[in-house]
Amino acid sequence: MKEKYEDDFRNIVKSGMQELQNSIRKHFSEEEDTETSGKTEGSGDFEQREKTMRITMLGTTSVGKTAFLSGVYQTLFLHQDEGVALRMNSKYDGEEGYTSIESIAMVRMDGTINDFPPGTSETKIYGMSLYINTKPCCDFEFMDYRGAYVREIAPGRSPDSTISPEEADKLRKQLEQSDHILLFLDAVQVSKSSDVQVRYNNCRMGMLSLIFSEVLKWKNSHVIVVLTKVDHSSVLPEDKKDNYRLLCEKAMEICTQIRSNCRSFAIIPVSAVGEGRTNDFEKTENGETMYSSHMKEAVMPAPMNVDGVILYACRAALEKKHSQLKERRNSLRGEQEKMEPSGRFHTGFLWTQRQGAEWENIGKQLIEIDEQMRKVTREIETINAGRLKSVDENYVYFRKEPEERQV
């Protein structure tokens, strides 16, 4: 008789627990349907939101920004090797303000060689895509504008301003949203003066520093100082020795404040055409001496390090992406750990349907993120093993690395 009562009791408890479990599952299932309506599984996944990398060129008149872009076209569009290449991004076709980089190229697809492109007369944006091992890696935009506009975005606009307040605000916003700022300095201006203050004034560093301190507020700026025209005959011979080391030291003397306050920094000497390929001259405008060049007839430009600047910036963007993925992965793992002790068997018997679905979804996201991290790591390794390796080892001066550089 006693055994019969015990069996009946166990059956009642079993039946009651089953009903309780079904009731709990139904409750959480209905709640989940309400909460997730309009959402797709993993809709908050980090990597679903690809970000376009923005690069802004900051430099004064005749410093060589447009010629630099021509060198980018020649080295990364026309000469696609070592698994890394740039291509035009068709999504920008027809959009206002966007321009094909081929329009300013000194070497065209058909082999035509042109002289230096004219200076920028209006703001232009060049949309491109970086491909690694023939697969798209990331999109990015280059913004180019008249060098004279620099003084318009610095604090204290002049009464004879050449651009509207709206245009000035647009340029400021672009700077604030930039992933990398390429700060262009004329190597001739850097080389010619032994006096640091004169060099500082000739390169307009007071105005450029104001942009960093007052417009950008030193907000996480990633800066590459692009030292242009290092091939120019007016650059002192001793400044060209040992991969332009002394020249870069002179540049560093006028960039100490920027380096101290930005998040990452490097100085890279570049030439859009290469040594000995130009006829150089000086010209004076409004009391200022500027150094210009024309290509020698029938001579093919041989750019130096311009591709290195772009790849250096792209690698930094990939390292940042890897760091963000790692943070997301650690956050998801933390969520899993919180679920584990209280979810499966709080009193030894139950893991709800909702918790099981959440656990499975987090697991899927972790698998995807791990694969994305491996992909980014392979892309970084490809960049490091190619043309950037020589630039990294021989031409990057006074580098300051962010934390994510430790990938």
In the structure encoding, which two tokens stand for residue 321, read together?
């992406």
What pLDDT does residue 147 have? Answer: 64
CA–CA distance, 336 with 1 (Å, rounded to integer): 48
Query: What is the C-alpha to C-alpha distance for residues 248 and 154, in angstroms, rounded to an integer?
Result: 25
For the residues 312-324, what does the mean pLDDT come to?
90
A 10 A CB-CB count for 76 gives: 24
Q: Which of 40-54, 191-205, 296-310 has the lowest mean pLDDT?
A: 40-54
- DSSP, residue by residue, 31-70: HHHHHHTT--TTTT-GGGS---EEEEEE--TTSSHHHHHH
Confidence (pLDDT) at 25? 45
For the chain, the average pLDDT equals 79
d(CA 205, CA 284): 20
In this structure, the dihedral spanned by the alpha carbons of residues 318, 309, 139 and 101, taken in order and rounded to 10 degrees, is -170
- Could you report the per-residue pLDDT of 193-227, keeping only the tens digit for each? 899 999 999 999 988 888 888 777 777 789 999 99
| Whether the predicted pLDDT of 329 surpasses 70 | yes
Does residue 245 sit within a domain? Answer: yes
The model's pLDDT over 124-172, given as tens digits with 9 standing for 90+, comes to: 788 888 899 888 888 888 877 766 667 666 666 555 566 677 777 777 8
Has residue 124 been placed in a domain? Answer: yes
Instruction: Please state at what angle helix 306-343 crosses helix 387-394, rounded to 10 degrees.
Output: 100
Q: For residue 333, what are its two tokens? A: 């793992």
pLDDT tens column, 256-280: 999 998 889 999 999 999 999 999 9
Overall number of domains in the chain: 1
Q: Is residue 342 part of a domain?
A: no
Q: Is residue 292 part of a domain?
A: yes
CATH of the domain at 119: 3.40.50.300
Spatial distance between the Cα atoms of 298 and 117, rounded to a whole number of angstroms: 16
User: Position 165: which residue type?
Assistant: P
Residues contacting residue 349 through CB under 8 Å, at least 6 positions apart: 17
Q: Tokens representing 30?
A: 């209905």
Query: Does a structural domain hold residue 137?
Result: yes
Q: What is the mean pLDDT of residues 92-121?
A: 76
Residue length, the chain? Answer: 407
Kindly indicate the confidence band of residue 23, based on its pLDDT and cuts at 50, 70 and 90: very low
pLDDT at 113: 87
Residue 93 resides in a domain:
yes
Give the domain range for residue 153.
49-319
Give the whole-angstrom CA distance, residue 207 versus residue 385: 38
For residue 377, pLDDT beyond 80: yes
Looking at the domain assignment, is residue 196 inside a domain? yes
Q: Could you tell me which residue, 12 or 52, shows the higher pLDDT?
A: 52
Task: Indicate whether 208 belongs to any domain.
Answer: yes
